[in-house]
Amino acid sequence: MSTNTDAVLYDHPGPRAKTRNLILTVVFGLALLALLWWIYRKFDEKGQWAGPLWRPFLEGSTWTDYILPGLWSTVSAAAVAMVFSLIFGLVFSVGRLSDHWWVSVPAGVVVEFFRAVPLLLMMFFIFFGIPFLTESPMPPFWAVVIGLTLYNGSVLAEAFRAGIRSVPRGQSEAGYAIGMRKTDVMREILVPQAARAMLPVIVSQLVVLVKDTALGYIIGYTELLQDGVNTLGANFGNTVAAAIVAVFIYVALNASLTFFAGYLERRTRRTGRAPRRTTPPGALTPVGGATAVEPQG
């Protein structure tokens, strides 16, 4: 007998609940529109919608000299930090799950330490402190990338660890039963399932990583916030307008990342399904250790 899982997990609203939800939706929608209208009026009173403030965005030089170079710096730092963060998180999550204390304990200390240190302080230390050790200047790009990697990689390590622990124990026990080693079980069974299960959390953290690149302007990294807002606003006197344009660029960038993650999730869900194997008529199939021929009709 089949059971309706949706009915068990979710109680469908009745007529009164539907009416209440509709009223709340309308009320909050009107409140949001009123807030947006109030913001628009306040900006209009201060002259922030004046044409001269927005006219520079219609000129190609504004984009090629300020916005696009800053966007490229943001995307390049975020892309490199994403790759390193995923590798860092995967390695240290497996390290924390190790059966050897001399691997799991140091891995746990590293993860907890870099999760606790503020990202901005970490960038400061890397940019100003590492040159005392190497006796050579630290490029702002690598200071931003390393800081993003250490912080976000530590958060992703915990996400991966939670995802691996969420996989049913029978999956790993089945792998051990057929003679697989722990490294094989991790690589072939646990990590792929954990990555698919924790994909929303991973994407959310990567979105945070993209936004955190804006902290790089404090140590002199010329990314979108520095070039597209501060420098552009200082030259044209339209800091608020430049900030609004930068907001929409960040939203589009993170929405593209979320869309790509959704596409990747759907693709892995399709490829993760094993095709149903059918035996052609007349093929040999094992029966009790012997070989039998299936009837053809």
The set of residues, in sequence order, having a beta carbon less than 8 Å from that of 88 and lying 6+ positions away, is 149, 150, 153, 154, 156, 157
Burial of 46 (0-12, 13-18, 19+ CB in 10 A): exposed
How confident is the model over 216-262, as pLDDT tens digits? 988 989 999 999 999 999 999 999 999 999 999 999 999 998 888 87
User: Per residue, what are the HEC states of 150-190?
Assistant: HHHHHHHHHHHHHHHHHCCHHHHHHHHHCCCCHHHHHHHHH
CATH number at 62-271? 1.10.3720.10
Contact of 67 with 245, CB cutoff 8 Å: yes
CA distance 34 to 41: 10
Mean pLDDT over each residue of the chain, to the nearest integer:
85
Q: Can you tell me the mean pLDDT for 188-199?
A: 82
Residue spans per domain, the chain: 62-271
> Is residue 195 over pLDDT 90?
no
Tell me, what's the pLDDT at 272?
53
Neighbours of 84 (CB within 10 A): 17
Closest C-alpha to 256, from 32, 77, 69, 78: 78
Indicate whether this model's pTM tops 0.75: yes
Decide if pLDDT at 5 tops 90: no
